[in-house]
Amino acid sequence: MSIVEITAESHGVDIDLFYATDRNFTGLPVYTEAHCYLNADAAAKLIMAAELARRFGLRLRIFDALRPTEAQWVLWSHTPDPEFLANPRTGSPHSRGAAVDVSLSDDNGQLLEMGTRFDAFTPLSHHAATGIPISAQRNRLLLLGLMTAAGWDFYSKEWWHYQLFDSRRYPLIADSALPKPMMKPRR
C-alpha cells in the first residue's frame, strides 16, 4: 500500500495538525513531527473534495489524517471513550491512512463556524445536532455534501471526521512504516 504525503501545494488544502500541538484534548503534543499522510486511495479523494470546495471559494483545513497506531494508543490511554475514539486493539480508520479530520475555511483563511471546536467530545459534535446555530448547521451540511460527493463516508458523532467506505480493508500503519516518522523515537 502506498502512503502519500499531503501538502498544501500537492492537494490544495490547509494543514493544521492539532495532535502535533498542545491544542488537542490531551493538552500535550502527540506527534513530535507534523507530517500529514493518507493512503493513495484517500489522497485521491481528498484532491476531489478540495476541488469541490474551491468551486465555492472555500478550502479544506486538515486537523488530522493518518494517525500511527502508536498515536492511537496515546489518545486511547488518555480518554478511552469508544463514542469518539476507536479502540487501538481493533484499529482506527486514521491508523489505516483512510480517514481525515477536516473543516472549511473562507478565502481569508477564517474557519467557518461549525458549532463546536474540533475534537469536542459532546453530543453537540454530532452531525445531526440541532442545539447549534443554524449557520453552523448549514456549514456542516456543506462540508458533508462536499466530502460525500468526493466519495467519503462520515461518522455521525463527529462533524469533522470522514473516512473511506471500506477503510477496514487497509492495514494498520505503525510510525516506523512512514516515510518520515511522526512520533518520538522510543528509547
Could you give the residue numbers annotated as active site? Answer: 158
Residue located via cell numbers 491544542: 23
Residue located via cell numbers 462533524: 159
Task: Return the bridge partners of 161, or none.
Answer: 101
Q: Which cell numbers hold the place of 109?
A: 483563511
Alpha carbon 125 to chain centroid, angstroms: 14
Question: Rounded CA gap, 92 and 96, in Å?
Answer: 7
Question: Rounded CA gap, 151 and 25, in Å?
Answer: 29
What letter would DSSP give residue 162?
A: E
Report the candidate in 48, 83, 82, 79 with the shortest Cα–Cα distance to residue 164. Answer: 48
